[in-house]
Amino acid sequence: MHRLAPFVVVICLFALAGCGWGGSSYLSQYQARIEDGSRVIESAKDDAGRAAGYTERARGYAERARYSRVFKLIDRREYDRLYAQALTDHEAAIRLDPQGAEHFAARGLTYHERAWAVAQDNFGSPADEQYWPLAAQDFTRAVELDGTREQAFDMRGIARQHLRDYDGAVADYTRVLQSDPRLGSIRLADLYCERGNLRLGAHNYTDAAADYERSVAIDMATDGCSCDPYSPLAQTYLELGDDDKGRLTVQRAQARGHWIAPEVLARLKKTS
């Protein structure tokens, strides 16, 4: 069954929270996964069946922890306890079925969600950054065991991008591009823009401009949380002393409805 990527789910949860929606149905769904997993563990006839039950229950614990913490229904201690239970179940699944790609992909997703909470959702702690490399390792193992797991490539790309392994992330997103052109394009556009920001901050203007141009060339409409390359690209050309390219970038941006920082427009006006 297809599942939304973790960050999409969290955005949806915050939107619902803003509408005053309590979300008890989500909690009941997550509790149902925990209970279903327990029943499978008890009734399974072999290790593979029991492993499937542990993975199902683990994801139930992880989803319940993440959701409950978003809505401040639990404190940090309970959040940690639920995740600890999830990881215990993930480890049990992998011991029982060490060749099951789905178990590594599921644990990678749990690690990913825990790490994502630090910067994006503001309910994690700096210590949770340790889960990014663990997520990348599990997604790697999942695709080694089953090269058709497209979501694992996508999730590994996100983990690698966060770890600033940009070449690895580009490789993963290029793979995603083959099966889902829209998603792959969004991922690549955002990555090139993010790397451009880092290079701009390091005064590496030539490489920054190249990355921003790659992002612009993809020309993919994304959500408001994505990196927009137009304004920093115009700034970068100004830093390079190429005012003509700066003006051209502003014209392209305005024609496509992209925002340009007032200070960039002011600098261009002075050089007119």
Closest CA to 257 of 206, 222, 209, 214: 222
Q: Say yes or no: 3 and 123 in one domain.
A: yes
Residue 171 lies in a domain: no
Among 102, 128, 154, the domain boundary falls at 128
Contacts of 250 (CB under 8 A, 6+ apart): 230, 234, 260, 264, 265, 268
Residue 143 lies in a domain: no
Confidence of residue 129 (pLDDT cuts 50, 70, 90): confident
Q: Say yes or no: 123 and 211 in one domain.
A: no
The whole domain housing 46 covers 1-128
Residue 192 lies in a domain: no
Report d(CA 159, CA 155) in Å as an integer: 6
Residue whose pair of structure tokens reads 């002393």 in the numeric block: 241
Model pLDDT for residues 22-65, shown as the tens digit of each residue: 457 889 999 999 999 999 999 999 999 999 999 999 999 999 99
Model pLDDT for residues 108-124, shown as the tens digit of each residue: 999 999 998 876 555 66
Report d(CA 208, CA 201) in Å as an integer: 9
Residue 210 lies in a domain: yes
Among 107, 128, 149, the domain boundary falls at 128
* Total-model pTM: 0.86
Closest CA to 56 of 113, 117, 1, 136: 1
- The per-residue pLDDT of the chain, averaged, comes to 89
